A and B are shown apart, each in its own frame.
Chain A
Amino acid sequence: MTAATDVQGLSTGNGLLAGYLEKINVSRVVFVLVMAVLAYLMLGPLLFLLWDSFHPGWEIGDETAFTLSSYIKAYTDKRFVEMLVNTTIFGLGATAFSVGMGSIFAWLVERTNMPFRNVTYALLFAPIAIPGLVFAISYILLLSPDIGVLNKILMVIFSLEEAPFTVYSMTGLIFVEGLRLTPGSFLMMAAVLKSMDPSLEEAGYTTGAGILQTARLITAPLMLPGILAAFIYYFITVIESFEIPAIIALPMGLQLLTTKIFFATHTTTQMPQYSVAAAISVVFILASAGLVYLYTLSTKHSERYTTITGKGYRPRIIDLGKWRYAAVGFTVIFFSFSVIFPLLVLIWGSLLPYLQPPSLEALEFATFDSYLKVGNIPKFGLAMKNTLFVTFTVATGTMLLSSLAAWFVVRGRIRGGRIMDLLAFLPHAIPSIVVAIGLIIFYVKMHRSLPIYGSIWIIIIGLLTKRISYGSRIMIGAMFQLHKELEEASEVCGVGWLKTFFLVTLRLLIPAFVNGWLYSALLSIALFTIPVMLYTPKSIVFSVLIWNLWENAKVQEACVVGVLMVVITFTLVFVGQYFASRARVQQTLT
Chain B
Amino acid sequence: MRRLFLANVLGVTLLLFSAAIASAIDVPKWWIGSKGDYEKLVTAAKKEGKLVWWSHPDPECRSLILAPFEKRYGIQVEHTEYTTAQIVQRVLIEGAAGLYSVDVSNLSVHHIPRLEKRGLIKKLPYKQRVKTYRDIPEMISPNSTALIGYTSPRSLAYNTKKLPNDQVPRTYEEVLNPKFKGKISVDTDLKEYIMLAQDWGMEKTKDYLRRLGALKPKFHPNNTVITQMVAAGEVLMAPGTIARIPLYEFKRKGAPVDWRALKPSVPLDLLLQGVMTHAPHPNAAELFIYWMHGSGEWLAGMEKCGGYGHAMIPGSKLQKKLEGVKVVPFGWAWGVKSAKEGLGEQFRKIIGAE
Contacts and interface: CB of A to CB of B under 8 A. Distances in A.
Interface string A386-407: 0000000000000000000000
B96 A137 contact: no
Contact of A453 (B96, B99, B114): B99
A281 B184 CA distance: 32
A291 to B, nearest CB: 28
Given A269-B344, A440-B90, A147 B232 contact: yes
Contact of A437 (B89, B250, B339): B89
Contacts of B110: 269-271
B189 A268 contact: yes
B62 interface: yes
Contacts of A555: 224, 228
Given A61-B92, A137-B225, A137-B228, A269 B191 contact: yes
Contacts of A454: 101
Contacts of B253: 353-354, 556
Interface in A309-338: none
A56 B352 CA distance: 26
B245 A553 contact: yes
A552 B114 contact: no
Contacts of A353: 250, 253-255
Interface in B42-73: 56, 58-60, 62
Contacts of A140: 229, 232, 234
A61 B96 contact: yes
B97 A447 contact: yes
Contact of B93 (A61, A247, A357, A537): A61
Contacts of B96: 61, 444
B352 A253 contact: yes
Contacts of A266: 85, 221
Given A263-B188, A548-B81, A60 B89 contact: yes
A447 B99 contact: yes
A272 interface: yes
Interface in A136-153: 137, 140-141, 144, 146-147
Interface string B211-227: 00000101111111101
B324 interface: no
A357 B229 CA distance: 11
A282 B315 CA distance: 54
Contacts of A550: 224
A262 B227 contact: no
Nearest to B183: A146
B132 interface: no
A117 interface: no
B16 to A, nearest CB: 41
Contacts, number: 166
Contacts of B225: 133, 137, 246-247
Contact of A553 (B89, B92, B218, B227): B227
Contact of A146 (B93, B222, B234): B234
Nearest to A253: B352
Interface string B109-130: 0110010001000000000000
A353 B221 CA distance: 22
Interface in B71-105: 78-81, 83-86, 88-90, 92-97, 99, 101
Nearest to B219: A250
A87 interface: no
B93 A59 contact: yes
A537 B220 contact: no
B246 interface: yes
What bracket does the count of chain A residues touching chain B fall in? 35 or more
Contact of B58 (A137, A365, A552): A552
Interface in B291-339: 306, 338-339
Contacts of B108: 268
B89 A272 contact: yes
B316 to A, nearest CB: 22
Interface residues of B, number: 71
A554 B348 contact: no
A563 B81 CA distance: 23
Nearest to A246: B221
Nearest to A364: B254
B342 interface: yes
Contacts of A356: 231-233, 255
Contact of B246 (A263, A437, A552): A552
B250 A444 contact: no
Contacts of B231: 354-356
A444 B94 contact: yes
A262 B221 contact: yes
A251 B218 contact: yes
A378 B60 contact: yes
Contacts of A357: 232-233
Interface in A434-469: 437, 440-441, 444-445, 447, 453-454
Contact of B99 (A144, A247, A444): A444
B342 A270 contact: yes
A543 interface: no
A266 B233 CA distance: 26
A252 to B, nearest CB: 7
B189 A354 contact: no
A445 B93 CA distance: 9
Contacts of A551: 56, 81, 222-224, 246
B343 interface: yes
A21 B44 CA distance: 68
A259 interface: yes
A267 B227 contact: no
Interface in B235-274: 245-247, 249-250, 253-255
Nearest to B58: A552
A262 B188 CA distance: 10
B166 interface: no
A581 B118 CA distance: 60
A61 B62 CA distance: 32
A179 B97 CA distance: 44
B80 A537 contact: yes
A144 B245 contact: no
B284 interface: no
B306 A147 contact: no
Nearest to B236: A146
B287 interface: no
Contacts of B247: 553
A259 B188 CA distance: 11
A379 B60 CA distance: 11
A59 B92 CA distance: 9
B190 to A, nearest CB: 8
Given A263-B348, A354-B228, A447-B99, A144 B221 contact: no
A524 interface: no
Given A60-B89, A271-B110, A551-B81, 16 more contacts: A60-B88, A141-B232, A247-B220, A251-B218, A263-B188, A269-B189, A269-B338, A270-B342, A356-B232, A378-B60, A454-B101, A537-B80, A552-B249, A552-B306, A553-B227, A554-B249
Nearest 9 interchain pairs by C-beta: A553-B246, A353-B253, A251-B218, A553-B249, A269-B344, A61-B96, A270-B339, A552-B58, A444-B97
10 contacts: A146-B233, A269-B110, A269-B344, A270-B339, A354-B232, A354-B250, A355-B232, A379-B59, A536-B80, A551-B81
